[in-house]
């Protein structure tokens, strides 16, 4: 068979229902990792570079809508339809704490200093949990005008942003006062809001539009119309010269940040794309879809391959983390420690 040049994704199987969120950790001494949230109630942890499965977090009793890792990739958090957010040990898969809510939790985020967990959901409330005192009551801040869809920290944990499922715009709260201090107006509800790695931009997706906002002065920097209704967008973190968007047409579109011109389009999913995120170095990005798969795409030049996609084996993905350890002296070719499951 003749070899042809194209961008071939790594296809990560394992989830039995739609993948609705993916989150990359920063680069750690052991590499970087990706955690995924799915309606199957089981977040999964993978090697962020290879897509290899590491473990499954088991304990939720409802769809998991959001997931994240702390900056050291030692703990994970998840937000679920079972009215809880959970804190996990990312090395063992154990539940460290379950934070009970009164309604569906749609989003969660670790603070930059890793001491706090922010949650939001159908209660229209934002809560800040102190992870050093997990049994203490959370701090409640001014309610959002609608059901909370996304949350994020910015300005070195001095500000919080959030969007709602039934109200347009992104709202920013001052953490010290707990009050809304600014609203970034959009025509449609914002389904994705991302703070750039350098803290300069807020990237939002609303309807068929992707917008970039100045994260310090809150002015609208750029606004681009998309070829379809998009659910998620992400800015390339290293150079900031490209961004990706995914949505109803099942494709992942790559655009030039400065002009808005489409410079690439990757096909492969068999259902709408719910989430896209760049890896911390910008060399690849991940997409999660209604089809239950995660695909990891390279940003580099096309590869000479004989197949259009590389399947990552499931490796008994229904099992919990069991005897997972970081080997003391064993290293990969890249110098990272080997994570093993015995």
For 244-273, give the DSSP string.
EEEETTS-EEEEETTT--EEEEE---SS-E
| Pair 120, 27 in one domain | yes
Q: How many Å apart are CA 70 and CA 117, to the nearest integer?
A: 10
**3-class state of residue 8 by DSSP:** coil
Residue 276 belongs to a domain: yes
Least confident of 6-10, 49-53, 167-171, 232-236: 6-10
Q: What's the rounded mean pLDDT across residues 233-251? A: 98
Q: What is the pLDDT of residue 8?
A: 83
46 and 176 co-located in one domain: yes
Confidence band for 291, pLDDT divided at 50, 70 and 90? very high
> Is the domain of 163 the same as that of 55?
yes
Distance set, CA 141 to CA 164, 175, 222, 235 (Å):
15, 8, 30, 29
Residue indicated by tokens 């990969």: 332
Residue 144 and residue 264 in one domain? no
Specify the pTM.
0.88
What's the number of domains the chain is made of?
2
Same domain, 90 and 159: yes
In a domain, 314, yes or no: no
Q: How far is 267 from 51, CA to CA, in rounded Å?
A: 18
Q: How far apart are CA 285 and CA 46, in angstroms?
A: 14
Structure confidence at residue 301 (pLDDT):
57
The reply to whether 174 and 242 lie within a common domain is no
pLDDT interval class at 315 (50, 70, 90): very low
DSSP 8-state code for residue 57: -
* CATH, residue 175: 2.130.10.10
Q: Which domain covers residue 118, as residue numbers?
A: 22-185
Does any domain span residue 49?
A: yes
Q: Are residues 131 and 254 in the same domain?
A: no
Does 140 share its domain with 175? yes
142 within some domain: yes
Q: Say whether pLDDT at 6 is over 60.
A: no
Domain identity same for 211 and 90: no
**139 contacts 128 by C-beta, under 8 angstroms:** yes
Q: What is the mean pLDDT of the chain?
A: 89
Write down the pLDDT at residue 309. Answer: 53
Domain end residue (candidates: 128, 153, 185):
185
Tokens of 317: 């993905």
């Amino acid at each position: 068979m003749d070899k042809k040049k194209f961008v071939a994704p790594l296809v990560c199987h394992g989830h039995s229902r739609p993948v609705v969120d993916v989150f990359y950790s920063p680069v750690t001494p052991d590499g970087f990792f990706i955690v995924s949230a799915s309606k199957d109630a089981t977040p999964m942890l993978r090697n962020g570079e290879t897509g290899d499965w590491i473990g499954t977090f088991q304990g939720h009793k409802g769809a998991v809508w959001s997931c994240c890792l702390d900056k050291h990739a030692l703990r994970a958090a998840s937000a679920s339809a079972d009215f809880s957010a959970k804190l996990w040990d990312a090395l063992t898969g154990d539940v460290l704490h379950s934070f009970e809510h009164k309604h569906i939790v749609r989003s969660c985020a670790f603070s930059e200093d890793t001491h706090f967990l922010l949650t939001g959901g159908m209660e229209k409330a934002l809560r800040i949990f102190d992870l050093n005192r997990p049994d203490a009551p959370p701090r409640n801040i001014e309610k959002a005008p609608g059901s909370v869809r996304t949350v994020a920290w910015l300005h070195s944990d001095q500000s919080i942003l959030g969007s709602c499922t039934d109200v347009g715009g992104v709202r920013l709260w001052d953490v010290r006062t707990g009050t809304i201090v600014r609203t970034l107006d959009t025509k449609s509800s914002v389904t994705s809001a991302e703070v750039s790695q350098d803290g300069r931009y807020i990237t939002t997706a609303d309807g068929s539009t992707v917008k970039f906002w100045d994260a310090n002065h809150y002015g609208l920097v750029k606004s681009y119309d998309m070829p379809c209704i998009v659910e998620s967008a992400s800015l390339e973190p290293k150079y900031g010269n490209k961004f990706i968007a995914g949505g109803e047409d099942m494709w992942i579109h790559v655009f030039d940040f400065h002009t808005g011109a489409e410079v690439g389009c990757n096909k492969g999913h068999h259902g709408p794309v719910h989430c896209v995120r760049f890896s911390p170095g910008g060399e690849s990005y991940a997409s999660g879809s209604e089809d239950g798969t995660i695909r990891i795409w390279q940003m580099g030049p096309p590869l000479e391959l004989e197949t259009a996609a590389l399947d990552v084996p499931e490796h008994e993905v229904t099992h919990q983390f069991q005897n997972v350890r970081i080997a003391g002296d064993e290293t990969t070719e890249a110098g990272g420690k080997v994570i093993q499951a015995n």
